[in-house]
Structure 1
Amino acid sequence: MTIGLLILSLVAQPVWWFGFIREWVTADRRIRQERLTFGSAVYSDKYEVRHFVLLSLLFGLIGSVISFAVGMTIPLGWWLIYTALAALAIILGLGARLPITIFVGSVVLYVWCNSIGVTQQLIAPMRQFSFSGETVTLGNLIILLGVALFTFGIWLKKIGGRFASPKIFAQKRGKLIAGYPFNELLVVPMLVLVPGNFLSAHLPFWPVLSLGGTTVTPLFLPLLIGLHLTIFKQNPKTVFKGLSKAVVILSLFILVGGILSLFVTSSTLIVLGLAYLCYLGCLISTRWHDRKQSFWFSKVDHGVRVLGIKPETPAAKMDIQVGDIITTCNQQPVSSETNFYEALLLDPTYCHLKIQTPEGDLKVTETAIFDGAPHEIGIVMFKD
């Protein structure tokens, strides 16, 4: 019964559904853009939606188990502020751009409301409804921030750069270049404990727990995890792997800082501020390092640039990477999409390529292709 009620509360979580709709719209927009730019979708499936559903629930389950194991308790006032800001951010399209900013901002807003007595003024008339005015150590929120960043790092390592969907941009002089946007969001439904029995007072069947002599109610916290970043000059997998490592290391330091804050409460806001600055530093450093590279995913005069590889196609089985330049196809020099497919037709069942990597190395790769359908080889390139 208790488990069923908690699952029901997850299904009714509006922020999760806002995130689901957001990912669906994002995937639709990406697929339409790919079809308009390249004639067909690079990734025809809505992988953003698949990632959102599966990984949100997976991380939510793991996070809930850990939360209950350590007795993670958070203030009701902060839960309300964070949930409202998370919902508003997703509606405004900022959920993937500002997940950590929303978390830190909600903590600062909660502390400010406490300092001027707004929180207590709101809680006082609500105590008749079994709302608790008991304060919760803010160190718990620092630990929760560390958990959020650790989850972010693992999530980024798992999916960052796996689906390198190119988008064409025009530079100031009209030169076309490709960039690789990463624009995904998770809403991790993590069970946390909130002081009071405000739900069970009106819904007798709602689960209530006792923690250290204090009555607490389990609630789902819609924890935002997301990133919006476009890579222009490096292999996306390499970039996100490096960012993932930096964020995971940062999260471990924040967890230590959160534990320290449990004992030295005056250090809470200092740890929070340093954590946020370090997080921004990771993002700024990643973006700056990408922009300072001399390489661009641009058109070339001799050969054709590989912008993407469609899954489950002959190209996916070949030794081809995003950014490579195909110089010859079936022993014929190529310099455009038209040249490339004309060369493929010389041998409609086989493809032999000579390739130059972005580093200048040369390699040869070959594979069988679909008979009579050279356009289905699966290599995405600039259109003529």
Structure 2
Amino acid sequence: MAQQWLFHGLVGLGKFFVHPIFYYSIFLCLVMGYLRVKRERQDFHIRTYDGYQELRFLLPGGLFIGLVLSLLILGAGLVIPFAALLASAAITVLLSLTLKVRLLSPAYVIGGTFFLLTFLEGRDISIPFFQGALDELDQAIYPSVAILLGLLLITEGLLISRNGYVRTSPALMRSKRGLTVGAHISKRLWLVPAFILVPGGHLPAPAEWWPVFTLGEMHVTPLMVPFLIGFSQRVHGQLPKESIQLNGRRVLWLGLLITACAIIGHWYPIASIAAVSAALIGREVLHYYQKLSEDRLPFYFSRRQHGVMILGIIPKSPAYKMALQIGEIITKVNGVYIRDEKELYEALQKNAAHCKLEVLDTNGQIRFVQRALFEGEHHELGVLLIQDPRRWDVEAG
């Protein structure tokens, strides 16, 4: 039996690399990178990261979590109908066409899948390419799909907390008073590969009690399925790490609540419907609550009377090598107090070979940094500042 499971597991793993979502997610990352670079050039006349930056986040962040998720699914014997996998892939593609990556949250994708299966079960509706999978549906409510939604919501919360704040993109926007202020935008796509058990095949259950969350005896087949999770957040009232990690913790707690409710649905199917409904409503409430909370805060990245605030750091630039941080304020350059961008670069030119800065960090502490400047390095130190709105168009986000 162990040899059977090993063989079918390797076959299921191989099917991951022919799954359309795997290649479609790569295409989406390249589109997102292109649009980000275009916006950054419009705001600053330079990009922060290259167009492949989104692609670098696609798979690494989700590999370990996908492994843990697979162990949970296999250990619990969570069997997902093949129709659900087809429907979730189709919904993923449809929602991605809006280019609003936040809609690729499991709450919307798996939630939409759950209600679609509930609607189609037992109805005489012919759908090309899906009909065979739909004919295999044998019940109106699938608690296993609701449990999968909860587990993927937990996954989303963990990814946001651990990865969502890394290398955010600086942007310019206008305040309600017409002033130019700074913001940071995080847009992520994470591919989470996980083993899913689907009905069919010739694999016997490894134990009498297995699978747990299904009715009756059935043979199953393990498939490695790529789940595409999207996230988007704009931060302008505080540092990106603080705001995004807080949002991630909220999503994590929502996922834990939905998972607990969905497990109860194994015995009381109405709880599965309640869990999926709560996931859809809860995820939307969290999104708008975060926006409202952000709008109530004063703008963090704004012009200061003394010094200039760092909105972004260009990789491999002198500022990057001097370990300057987003949100810090440069108050003095080469012994000269500065108040704006023009004075910053005038002070830099006083000593073309060496740069000494006095910086007010995000904790309000003064620190001094200095470094030799070499020929060929970024002539403007490599910091992105809040620019004069008359210089070029402003992206409102």
- Please classify the TM superposition score into its range, dividing by the shorter chain length: 0.7 to 0.9
RCO higher in structure (CA 8 A, sep ≥6): 2
What are the ranges of 5 or more consecutive residues in structure 1 without an aligned counterpart? 198-207
- 1:307 equivalent in structure 2: 311
- TM-score between the two structures when normalised by the length of structure 2: 0.82
Correspondence 1:105 to 2:108: no
**One-letter code aligned to 2:90:** A
- 1:241 equivalent in structure 2: 245
- 2:204 equivalent in structure 1: 210
Correspondence 1:34 to 2:40: yes
Q: How many pairs are equivalent?
A: 370
Correspondence 1:168 to 2:151: no
Matches within 5 A, 1:9-28: 9-28=15-34
- 2:270 equivalent in structure 1: 266
CA-atom RMSD, angstroms?
A: 3.1
Matches within 5 A, 1:47-86: 47-86=53-92
Once the 2 structures are TM-superposed, how far is the Cα of residue 163 of structure 1 from its aligned partner?
Answer: 0.8
- 1:205 equivalent in structure 2: none
Question: Helix, strand or coil: the match of 1:12?
Answer: coil
Is the CA contact 1:68–1:192 (under 8 Å) kept in the aligned structure 2?
Answer: yes
CA distance, structure 2, for counterparts of residue 357 and residue 121 of structure 1: 59
Once the 2 structures are TM-superposed, how far is the Cα of residue 112 of structure 1 from its aligned partner?
Answer: 1.8
Correspondence 1:370 to 2:377: no
- 1:189 equivalent in structure 2: 193
Is the CA contact 1:166–1:181 (under 8 Å) kept in the aligned structure 2?
Answer: yes
What are the ranges of 5 or more consecutive residues in structure 2 without an aligned counterpart? 1-6, 211-216, 389-397
CA distance, structure 2, for counterparts of residue 106 and residue 35 of structure 1: 39
**One-letter code aligned to 2:52:** K
**One-letter code aligned to 1:209:** L
**Pair 149,322 (structure 1): closer, same or farther in 2 beyond 3 Å:** same
CA distance, structure 2, for counterparts of residue 123 and residue 9 of structure 1: 18
Amino-acid identity (%): 25
Is the CA contact 2:239–2:300 (under 8 Å) kept in the aligned structure 1?
Answer: no
CA distance, structure 2, for counterparts of residue 54 and residue 138 of structure 1: 31
**One-letter code aligned to 1:348:** A
**Pair 42,369 (structure 1): closer, same or farther in 2 beyond 3 Å:** farther
Task: Give deviations 1:184-208, integer Å, cap 9, x for gaps.
Answer: 11232322122224xxxxxxxxxx4
**One-letter code aligned to 1:276:** L
**Pair 195,314 (structure 1): closer, same or farther in 2 beyond 3 Å:** same
- Give the alignment partner of residue 296 of structure 2, picking from 288, 292, 298: 292
**One-letter code aligned to 1:283:** H
CA distance, structure 2, for counterparts of residue 95 and residue 104 of structure 1: 16
CA distance, structure 1, for counterparts of residue 353 and residue 130 of structure 2: 77
Question: Helix, strand or coil: the match of 1:375?
Answer: coil
CA distance, structure 2, for counterparts of residue 256 and residue 172 of structure 1: 42
- 2:347 equivalent in structure 1: 343
Once the 2 structures are TM-superposed, how far is the Cα of residue 156 of structure 1 from its aligned partner?
Answer: 0.9
Is the CA contact 2:181–2:303 (under 8 Å) kept in the aligned structure 1?
Answer: yes
**One-letter code aligned to 1:164:** T
Matches within 5 A, 1:217-228: 217-228=221-232
